[in-house]
Structure 1
Amino acid sequence: MGQKGWRVGFVSQGYDTWNKKDAFRTHVGGVNSFHNKEKEKCEFLIREKQAINVVLRRQTEAEDRKYKARLHVYVIVVRLLLKTGLPFCRHDELVNSENKGLYIEVLKAIREASEDIFNNTLENAPKNNQLISPKIKKELVQCFAQEEQMAFVLCYVDNFGFVKERFIGLVHVKDTSSLILKNVINEVLTSNKLSFSQIRGQGYDTASNM
């Protein structure tokens, strides 16, 4: 662009001296000439590994892997707190707070055991993707709530004639079809050394499938 004569020649007057070596060398110029700089940029675009879309995709995939690894750790924390029935938060979760609540404190304890987790969570995660806001916590809990599960409670009469009820536990089920529920019930009874022959009644609270 610095020598307008060439530009005018290409655009309006035409350029017909390609067979003259000196003219061609002049047109190409030195290593830092406009022609060679543009030729270098063109080669960069042609190279697949250096193409803009490839570089951006590579960066996106790397961030996606980090996000999934970060989310996996938070799911472990949420599962622990839900299973034990412990509270997630405190009223004070500021940076200088000595106790930020179990959600963050448990995570901080896990971070101490892994450098990778430490470098990918809390202050080392992107500011808009630290997964510690109240909204995110509620969404994670909601995800657990949507998983299919069946609770077992046994009602029985003891040796003294008293009616007793005992909560056995929660069991994950793929769906709530009759066959799946029957098989899961049988597995739970078998693991507790019980059988269908001992059952005198069954009840399904607000179940859509009896």
Structure 2
Amino acid sequence: MRRYYQPVPKRTLECGAGTPTGLKKRANVTKKFNPDATTSDLNRHRSIDGYHGETKDKVGGGTSDHSKGRKGLEDFGYQSKSHELSSIHPDIGSAYRICFIASLDCARFLLMQGMAFSGPGQSPTSINKGNLLELIDLYKKRDKEVERAFDMNVVGNIDITSPLIQKGLAKACAQEVTEVIIGEIGDGNFTILIDDSHDMAEKYQMAVFVRFVNKKGKVIERFLGLEYLTEDTPAAFKETLVGLLAQHGLSISKLRGQGYDGASNMRCEFNDMQLLIHNENPYAFYVHCFAHQLESVLITVSRCSSSLIHDFFVSISLIITTTIESCQMMDKSTEKHHQTTLNKLESGEILSEGSNHKEKNLASLGGTRWGSYYTTLGRINMMWDSVLDVLMIVHQHGRQPSRAGGLIQTMESFEFVFILKMMLKLFTITNELSLVLQRKDEGIIQAVGQLTDVKECLQTLRNNGWESLFEDVKSFCATNWIPVPNMDEHIRATGHSRRDGVTLT
């Protein structure tokens, strides 16, 4: 046990409390702090004001291991691609630059021409790779240096022609063009032109254009940008516009005019927005859009005034889309129309002399408002049997048979025929004026004179045109086996459920 527990000497036990002698003596000593004794020690170091920003002591010194490690960590986060490229191949940097410049040149050409980079189903493995890739291939055939650069498979896993790179090229070109436009405006005044539109996902967006006078004294109009609208309120419109202008360094105080889409004006969508902007800047005068088609305005107002007319034009668009979904269907439509025309000529229903029975196809409506509905409705009326036959073929052998069957049922209804005949009469009166208003060489006096005549014709149609219109509709329905409802019978009002009991005659 002596190995683990040493005996305590008797002299230590006599000191009391079992405290060792050295500790007992140290406890009885009180040592005070003397500041004078540290004066010489403080003078050995420089004051804080004497330090230099790049000079460090000991661990923080520029040559210490700590500083070298910190510097290496910072350099690791700021590696440039040039280091990576130079480590792979000495010529890889110039090859990548050649490929990039060639792709950028092709992208700029397509953007200037307003052409898409690629279409649906087009990829690097398809026969038609798309406009951009095909143009790059043509570039490679014309320039052997570019072909060698692309054949080197630059940077391994980075494809210079990938969709992500293509999108980046388009965005970079757009930013450069926008900067040039903003530079042309400078500190001068400008006006805005606004239109509403929808993207492929049917999201509501606002298209903004600027109009200004350049240094040569010419009036220039340029597209500024598209902005999505989460709300359709005047305050949201104004906030979105101000944000877009501020994004490009433009101030609303320099605004000297504001114009809006003609059809949107008729729907009163931007009226309150005009007032909000005018209250903030009284010099931002409203300028009416005279460049809009009269036909488009009439259609927009008609669709907003009645749900039946709105559904009618939706059906028209679906009919056009369905009947021209394949060239085979269009050939059958044209062939059927020729045969019908020959039968009418033989029976004497139409006369060959002076008759316009040339080859006709259904006019496709564009995605914008500049498509001619007057031409489309006229051809549907003329090729009625052919359109129905094509829809039946699509219903039996097409990719969307259910939609074609529903369109057949819609066309063979009294409401569809009535609206078709009514809109044709309306467009027949207004079509000439609509074309005249688009001519730049037409004087305003002649246009106003034609406007007076059109108003008189419309008033006559409203007062005395019902009987002739109704007889035309009944005759058409009887010829095509379409039932005509009893006009004295009570039917359910549109927009109401049968349980509401709301009827009309």
After TM superposition, the score normalised by the length of structure 1 is 0.46
- Greater Rg by CA: 2
